[in-house]
Amino acid sequence: MTIQVSRDNEGYLIDPEDWNEEIASELAKEENIELDDRYWPVLNIIRSHYEESQIIPDIRHVVKSLAKENGKDKKEVKKLIFELFPYGYVKQACKIAGMKRPRAWSTG
C-alpha cells in the first residue's frame, strides 16, 4: 500500500488528523519497523497527548506516562523506547504516530 495522505519532504504527515493505524503501519515499514504490541502504548500516548493539547509531547512526558501505567522505572522505559525506535523519538516515534515534524527539537 502507498500512503495516500499529504506528507512533508521528510515523510511526516502534514495533518496529524489524517493518521490511522494502517497509516502508522505503513510509516513504520518505511522505517524498517514491524509494529507489534510493544509499540502501540508509545504511539497511543503520543496521539492522546496531541489530541488533548494539540502539542506533540516530548519524550519525558511519554516516558513518565508509560512508567506510571506499567509500574516501571523511567530509565527502563526510556531504554525500551530507544530500543523500539533506534533512530530516535522524533525521527521514528513521532513520525509513525502521525505528528508533524517538530521544529527545533533534537532527534533524541
Q: Mind listing the pLDDT tens digit for each residue in 39-88?
A: 999 999 999 999 999 999 999 999 999 999 999 999 999 999 999 999 99
**51 — phi, psi (to 5°)?**
-65, -35
**Model pLDDT, residue 4:** 86
- How much of the chain, in percent, has pLDDT values that exceed 90? 88
Domain housing 53 = 16-96
The DSSP 8-state label assigned to residue 39 in this structure reads: T
Q: Report if residue 84 sits inside a domain.
A: yes
The pTM (predicted TM-score) of the whole model is 0.91
Q: Domain count of the chain?
A: 1
Q: Report if residue 11 sits inside a domain.
A: no
Q: Report if residue 107 sits inside a domain.
A: no
**Model pLDDT, residue 103:** 75
